[in-house]
C-alpha cells in the first residue's frame, strides 16, 4: 500500500472522527490532534457531544465554545448550538450582538427539532467556517456517533435539496465546497474489533458518501489485542488448563489467575480477529491499528500513548 | 428516606422479585442489551412469573436466541426448549420484544388522532416522517411509552427495558417532559394560530423576522401546516406523557445502571447514578459488566506470574510438554509469554477494582458480571452471566 490514503488523513484540513458509542472516538480524535499539533500544525479539536470527555482526555477542567489553547499549536473547544447560532447571526445575518438569546434560542430549538438539518447546519457551518477562514491548519472533530453523523455532515446537502430556504440555504454552497472535497475533508471511522461496532461501521460506509457527499477516508481499529502466539503455541495455550496442577505445584496457587488471564485475553483476541477480518473483507479503506493499552494512566497519558501508536501507523 | 431503607436490597434477585419495571441504562456499548437479557433470564429461572425483556437493537445472534430476529413490535415467548438446551428448567415464562421506533410512532398517532382524517393526514405527511425519527429524543420516549403500554396490559409480572444508545444517558429521564414541552410550546401555538393573528405577532416580534429571514417563510408555512394537524392530538399526547413520566417515579419501577469499569463509562455511570438519586428515582443496582476476576489483583497471582517466567525453561516445561504431547521449547515460550503479560492484565484489573469501589459508594447494590471469553450470544451465555447476579 502506498503511504498515501491512511497517512494523508492529517493532510486534510477538516477531519471528522466518528464510530459507535464508546469505541474511542474522543481518545482517537484527541490523539490525532495531539500528533497534528506536534508536527507543527495549528490544530483545533472540537467535541460535538458536549459530554466533557475531551476535557477529561486532556486533563483540563472544562472546555467551552471559545477555543482554549492546551499545548503549543493545540486548541480545543466544545460545540454549543446556541453559541453557534449567536455567532452565525452576528457573522451572516448581520444581527448585532444579542445579549439574551433566550426566546430566540427556544424558538430555534423547536424549529431545529422539527426541520431536518437546521441544528446540524449551524454546527457543521461553524466547523467549515473555521476551515474556510484558515484560522487553523487542521480542524479535528470528535464527532457524533454513527447513528447521528449522517444527519450532521449531510445537513448542507439535505438543506440545499430542500427548496425555498432562506439565508441558510445560500450558505450551503461554500460549506459543500469544503465538505465534498476529499483533499480538504476526511472522515475517520473508529471501531473496536467487536461485532456491533464493526457492523455499524460497515453500515455507515455504505451510506456515508451517497447520503452526505462526504467520503470516508480511513478506518481506525482501536483496542486491538496483539497476537502473541503462533498456531503451535496457541494449541498449548488452549490446553494448558489440563496441566494446571503441575503449574500450581511449581509456582503457587496464584497460577490459576495467570492462566485465566492468558486464556481470556487470547480468546477475546481471537474473537476480535474474526471481526477485523470481516472489516477487511468488506472495505477497501486503509485500517490504522491501535492496540489495547494496558496502563493505569488516564487522560493525557492515554492520548499520548494512542498518539504514538497512530503516528507509527501513519508513517 | 424511610421508604428506601425499607426496600433495602441485598441482591439482585430480591430487587427483581420486588419490582415490576426495570429500566436498564448506561453509556454506549457497555452491555445494556446483554445485561437486560441476562437479568430477565435470572428472573425467570430464579423467581418465575411472566417476564418480558424489551430490547433495542440486539446483536444479531442474541436477537435470534431471543426470537426477536424479525422486525415488528410483537412480543414472542422464548421456548422452554431453549432453556432445556442449556440444561435448566425455567420457573416462569420468558418473553422478548424489540423496540421498533418507526412502528412505535405510527401506533402513537393512531392512538391519539381524534379522527381518521387527521390520522391519515399525519401518517402521509413528509414532515412527520422526518420528525418521527428525530425529534424530542424520540427513541427514549418510545422506550418509555412502550413500557407504559406493556405494563398497563397487565400481562407481565416483570418488564425489563433496555434503553437505546443516546448521546446522554440522562435523556431517557427527560424524554416525557420534553414531549410535553414540545406540545405546550408557545411556538407551536403561534405557528398554529390563525394566519392573521400570526401576522400581527410576526410584525411585533423581531425574532420572528429573524427566523423568517434565516429559514425562509415558505418553510415556516410548511411546518405550520403539519403542526396544525399535530395540535389536534395535543391533549392525548400530553396526558399520555404525564402517565409515562409518572412511571419513572413509580414505586414499582427501579433503575439499573450498567457500566464497564473503564474510565469514561464509569464516570458517566457515576454521574447517572447520582442524578437518579437526586431526582428521587429508585436506583436498584449498578452492574459492572465485563469485569476481570478479582483474583487477578491478588498478590499471590503476581508472585506466581513472576515465578512462572523463571520456571518456564526448566523441568516444568518438560513435564507439561510430556503431558500435552508437545515440545518443551514451545511450552517454555508460552509460559514465558503468559508470565510476562500477566502484569498487563493485572494493571487493568487493579484499575477496575478501584473504580468498582468508587461505584459501590453510590449504590447499595453493586453487582459484577465477569468478562466472558466470547460474545454473549445464546441462553447458555446469558445463564452464565445471570449466575453471577445471584451469588
Ligand atoms: N486503545 C485503548 N486502550 C485502552 N483503553 C482505551 C483505548 N481507547 C479508548 N480507551 C478507553 O475507552 C473508554 C472510551 O473511550 P472514548 O471516551 O474515547 O470513547 P468514545 O467513542 O468517545 O465514547 P462516547 O461514544 O461515549 O463519546 C475510555 O475510558 C478510554 O480511556
Ligand atoms: N460480560 C460480557 N463478556 C463478554 N462480552 C460481553 C459481555 N457483555 C457484553 N458483551 C458483548 O459486548 C458487546 C456489546 O454489548 P451490548 O450490545 O449488550 O451493549 P449495549 O450497551 O447494549 O450497546 P448499545 O449502546 O450499542 O446498545 C456485545 O457483542 C456483547 O456480546
Ligand atoms: Mg466521546
Ligand atoms: Mg444495546
ipTM metric: 0.82
Three-state secondary structure call for residue B130: helix
| Closest ligand 1 atom, residue A292 Cα | 3
Q: What is the pLDDT of residue B379?
A: 94
Q: What is the DSSP string of A48-110?
A: SS-SSHHHHHTT-S---SS-EEEETTEEEEE--HHHHHHHHHHHTS-PPP-S--HHHHHHHHH
B332 in the same domain as B312: yes
Residue B337 domain flag: yes
Identify which of B28, B131, B303 has the shortest CB distance to residue A114.
B131
Q: Say yes or no: A91 contacts chain B, CB-CB below 8 A.
A: no
Contact B295 A104 (CB under 8 A): no
Ramachandran area for residue B245 (φ above 0: left; ψ -120 to 50: alpha; else beta)? alpha
Q: Are A145 and A29 in contact (CB under 8 A)?
A: no
B281 in the same domain as B316: no
B172 in the same domain as B115: yes
B323 in the same domain as B274: no
Q: Say yes or no: A49 contacts chain B, CB-CB below 8 A.
A: yes
B68 in the same domain as B111: yes
Q: What is the DSSP string of B355-368?
A: HHHHHHTS-S-EEE
CA distance A89 to chain B (A): 9
Q: What is the pLDDT of residue A16?
A: 98
Q: What is the pLDDT of residue A2?
A: 40
Identify which of B131, B208, B320 has the shortest CB distance to residue A243.
B320
pLDDT tens across B260-272, in order?
A: 999 889 999 999 9
Contact B341 A228 (CB under 8 A): yes
B360 in the same domain as B304: no
Of the ranges B112-116, B137-141, B307-311, which one carries the lowest mean pLDDT score?
Answer: B137-141
**Average pLDDT of A149-164?**
77
Residue B270 domain flag: yes
Residues of chain A with Cβ-Cβ distance to B333 below 8 Å are 233
Can you give the residue ranges of every domain in chain A?
Answer: 9-226+284-314
Whether pLDDT at A9 is above 90: yes
With b for 16 or more beta-carbon neighbours within 10 A and e for fewer, the A139-161 pattern comes to: bbbbbbbbbbbbbbbbbbbbbbe
Q: Say yes or no: B302 contacts chain A, CB-CB below 8 A.
A: yes
Q: What is the pLDDT of residue B3?
A: 38
Q: Which residue has the higher pLDDT, B354 or A116?
A: B354
Identify the nearest ligand to the CA of A78 by its number. 3
Of the ranges A87-91, B42-46, B201-205, B348-352, which one carries the lowest mean pLDDT score?
Answer: B201-205
Cell of A303: 492520548
pLDDT tens across A224-233, in order?
A: 999 999 999 9
d(CA B323, CA B320): 5
Whether pLDDT at A3 is above 70: no
Q: What is the pLDDT of residue B164?
A: 81
Residue B236 domain flag: no
Model confidence at B193, pLDDT cuts 50, 70, 90, reads low
Identify which of A113, A166, A229 has the shortest CB distance to residue B213.
A166
Q: How is chain A split among helix, strand and coil, in percent rounded to 5?
A: 55, 15, 30
B305 in the same domain as B251: no
Model confidence at B185, pLDDT cuts 50, 70, 90, reads low
CATH classification of the domain holding B158: 3.40.50.300
Of the ranges B78-87, B136-145, B195-204, B303-312, which one carries the lowest mean pLDDT score?
Answer: B195-204
Q: Say yes or no: A274 contacts chain B, CB-CB below 8 A.
A: no
| Closest ligand 2 atom, residue B290 Cα | 1
B380 in the same domain as B309: no
B346 in the same domain as B320: yes
| Closest ligand 1 atom, residue B267 Cα | 29
Of the ranges A166-175, A238-247, B34-43, B102-111, which one carries the lowest mean pLDDT score?
Answer: A166-175
Contact B298 A26 (CB under 8 A): no
Chain mean pLDDT for chain B: 84
Whether pLDDT at B2 is above 50: no
B287 in the same domain as B300: no
**Average pLDDT of A129-149?**
93
Q: Which residue has the higher pLDDT, B308 or B231?
A: B308
**Average pLDDT of A85-98?**
70
| Beta-ladder partners of B187 | none
Whether pLDDT at B214 is above 80: no
Q: What is the pLDDT of residue B220?
A: 61
Residue B313 domain flag: yes
pLDDT tens across A251-276, in order?
A: 999 999 999 999 999 999 999 999 99
Does this model's pTM top 0.80? My answer is yes
Query: With respect to CATH, is domain A9-226+284-314 assigned 3.40.50.970?
Result: no
Residue B272 domain flag: yes
CA distance B69 to chain A (A): 15
Q: Say yes or no: B175 contacts chain A, CB-CB below 8 A.
A: no
Q: What is the pLDDT of residue B238?
A: 84
Contact B373 A166 (CB under 8 A): no
Of the ranges A61-65, A162-166, A243-247, B384-388, which one carries the lowest mean pLDDT score?
Answer: A162-166
Give the range of the structural domain holding residue B86, as residue numbers without chain letter. Answer: 2-122+137-179+243-294+356-387
Of A18, A19, A22, A221, the one to substitute when testing ligand 1's pocket (max ligand atoms within 8 A of C-beta) is: A22
Instruction: Indicate which of B137, B177, B207 best probes the interface with A, i.e. most A CBs within 10 Å of its own CB.
Output: B207
Q: Are A28 and A140 in contact (CB under 8 A)?
A: no
Q: Which residue of A has its CA nearest to B134?
A: A113
B155 in the same domain as B58: yes
Q: What is the pLDDT of residue A1?
A: 38
Residue B250 domain flag: yes
**Residue B1: exposed, middle, or buried by beta-carbon count in 10 A (0-12, 13-18, 19+)?**
exposed
Instruction: Tell me which residues have their CB closer than 6 angstroms to ligand 1.
Output: A 19, 21-27, 49, 51, 53, 145, 222-223, 290, 292-293, 302, 306; B 27-28, 262-264
Cell of B134: 428525530
pLDDT tens across B302-331, in order?
A: 999 999 999 998 899 999 999 999 999 999
B290 in the same domain as B302: no
Q: Are B141 and B5 in contact (CB under 8 A)?
A: no
Q: What is the pLDDT of residue B8?
A: 43
Q: Are B251 and B19 in contact (CB under 8 A)?
A: no
pLDDT tens across B357-376, in order?
A: 999 999 999 999 999 988 89
Phi, psi of B91 (to 5 degrees): -85, -20
**Average pLDDT of A279-285?**
96
Q: What is the pLDDT of residue B1?
A: 36
The residue among B240, B234, B112, B231 whose CA lies nearest residue B176 is B240
d(CA A59, CA A80): 20
Q: Which residue of A has its CA nearest to B298?
A: A254
Nearest 5°: the CA angle B8, B13, B18 is 55
Q: What is the pLDDT of residue A167?
A: 65
Three-state secondary structure call for residue A15: strand
The residue among B123, B163, B160 whose CA lies nearest residue B139 is B163
Q: How many domains does chain B have?
A: 2
Residue B63 domain flag: yes
Residue B202 domain flag: no
Amino acid at each position: 500500500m502506498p503511504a498515501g490514503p491512511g497517512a494523508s488523513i492529517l493532510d486534510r484540513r477538516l477531519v471528522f472522527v466518528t464510530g459507535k458509542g464508546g469505541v474511542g472516538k474522543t481518545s482517537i480524535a484527541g490523539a490525532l490532534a495531539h500528533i497534528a499539533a506536534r508536527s507543527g500544525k495549528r490544530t483545533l479539536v472540537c467535541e460535538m457531544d458536549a459530554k466533557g470527555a475531551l476535557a477529561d482526555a486532556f486533563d483540563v477542567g472544562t472546555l467551552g465554545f471559545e477555543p482554549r489553547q492546551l499545548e503549543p499549536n493545540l486548541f480545543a473547544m466544545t460545540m454549543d448550538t446556541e453559541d453557534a447560532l449567536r455567532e452565525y447571526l452576528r457573522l451572516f445575518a448581520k444581527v448585532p450582538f444579542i445579549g439574551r438569546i433566550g426566546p430566540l434560542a427556544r424558538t430555534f430549538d423547536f424549529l431545529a427539532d422539527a426541520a431536518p438539518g437546521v441544528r446540524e447546519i449551524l454546527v457543521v457551518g461553524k466547523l467549515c467556517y473555521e476551515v474556510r477562514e484558515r484560522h487553523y491548519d487542521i480542524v479535528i472533530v470528535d464527532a457524533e456517533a454513527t447513528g447521528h453523523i449522517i444527519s450532521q455532515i449531510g445537513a448542507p446537502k439535505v438543506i440545499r435539496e430542500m427548496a425555498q430556504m432562506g439565508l441558510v440555504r445560500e450558505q450551503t454552497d461554500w460549506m459543500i465546497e469544503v465538505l465534498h472535497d476529499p483533499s480538504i475533508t476526511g472522515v475517520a471511522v473508529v471501531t473496536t474489533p467487536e461485532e456491533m461496532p464493526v457492523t455499524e461501521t460497515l453500515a455507515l460506509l455504505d451510506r456515508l458518501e451517497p447520503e452526505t457527499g462526504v467520503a470516508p477516508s480511513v478506518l481506525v481499529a482501536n483496542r486491538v489485542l496483539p497476537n502473541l502466539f503462533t498456531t503451535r503455541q496457541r494449541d498449548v495455550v488452549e490446553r494448558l488448563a489440563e496441566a494446571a496442577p503441575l503449574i500450581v505445584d511449581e509456582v503457587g496457587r496464584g497460577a490459576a489467575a495467570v492462566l485465566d488471564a492468558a486464556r481470556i485475553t487470547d480468546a477475546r483476541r481471537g474473537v476480535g480477529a474474526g471481526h477485523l477480518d470481516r472489516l477487511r473483507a468488506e472495505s477497501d479503506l486503509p485500517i490504522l491499528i491501535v492496540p489495547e493499552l494496558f496502563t493505569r494512566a488516564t487522560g493525557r497519558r492515554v492520548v499520548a500513548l494512542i498518539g504514538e501508536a497512530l503516528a507509527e501507523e501513519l508513517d | 428516606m424511610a421508604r428506601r431503607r425499607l426496600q433495602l436490597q441485598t441482591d439482585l434477585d430480591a430487587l427483581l422479585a420486588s419490582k415490576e419495571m426495570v429500566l436498564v441504562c448506561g453509556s454506549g456499548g457497555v452491555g445494556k442489551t446483554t445485561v437486560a437479557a441476562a437479568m430477565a433470564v435470572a428472573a425467570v429461572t430464579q423467581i418465575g412469573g411472566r417476564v418480558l425483556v424489551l430490547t433495542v437493537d440486539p446483536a444479531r445472534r442474541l436477537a435470534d436466541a431471543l426470537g426477536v430476529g424479525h422486525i415488528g413490535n410483537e412480543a414472542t415467548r422464548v421456548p422452554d426448549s431453549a432453556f432445556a438446551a442449556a440444561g435448566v428448567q425455567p420457573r416462569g415464562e420468558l418473553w422478548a420484544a424489540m423496540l421498533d421506533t418507526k412502528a412505535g410512532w405510527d401506533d402513537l398517532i393512531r392512538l391519539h388522532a381524534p379522527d381518521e382524517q387527521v390520522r391519515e393526514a399525519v401518517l402521509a405527511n413528509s414532515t412527520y416522517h422526518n420528525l418521527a425519527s428525530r425529534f424530542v429524543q424520540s427513541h427514549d420516549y418510545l422506550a418509555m411509552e412502550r413500557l407504559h403500554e406493556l405494563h398497563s396490559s397487565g400481562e407481565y409480572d416483570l418488564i425489563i427495558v433496555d434503553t437505546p444508545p443516546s448521546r446522554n444517558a440522562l435523556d431517557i429521564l427527560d424524554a416525557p417532559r420534553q414531549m410535553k414541552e414540545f406540545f405546550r410550546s408557545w411556538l407551536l401555538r403561534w405557528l398554529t394560530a390563525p394566519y392573521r393573528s400570526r401576522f400581527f405577532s410576526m410584525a411585533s416580534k423581531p425574532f420572528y423576522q429573524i427566523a423568517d429571514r434565516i429559514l425562509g417563510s415558505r418553510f415556516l408555512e410548511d411546518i405550520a401546516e403539519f403542526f396544525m394537524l399535530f395540535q389536534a392530538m395535543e391533549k392525548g399526547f400530553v396526558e399520555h406523557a404525564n402517565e409515562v413520566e409518572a412511571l419513572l417515579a413509580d414505586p414499582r419501577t427501579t433503575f439499573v445502571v450498567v457500566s464497564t469499569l473503564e474510565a469514561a463509562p464509569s464516570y458517566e455511570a457515576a454521574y447517572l447514578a447520582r442524578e437518579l438519586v437526586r431526582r428521587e428515582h429508585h436506583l436498584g443496582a449498578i452492574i459492572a459488566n465485563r469485569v476481570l476476576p478479582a483474583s487477578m489483583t491478588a498478590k499471590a497471582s503476581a508472585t506466581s506470574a513472576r515465578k512462572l517466567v523463571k520456571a518456564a525453561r526448566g523441568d516444568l516445561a518438560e513435564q507439561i510438554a510430556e503431558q500435552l504431547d508437545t515440545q518443551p521449547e514451545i511450552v517454555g515460550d508460552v509460559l514465558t509469554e503468559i508470565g510476562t503479560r500477566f502484569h498487563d492484565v493485572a494493571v487493568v484489573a487493579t484499575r477496575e477494582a478501584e473504580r468498582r469501589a468508587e461505584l459501590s459508594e453510590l449504590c447499595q447494590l453493586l453487582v459484577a458480571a465477569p468478562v466472558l471469553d466470547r460474545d454473549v450470544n445464546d441462553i447458555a451465555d446469558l445463564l452464565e452471566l445471570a449466575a453471577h447476579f445471584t451469588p
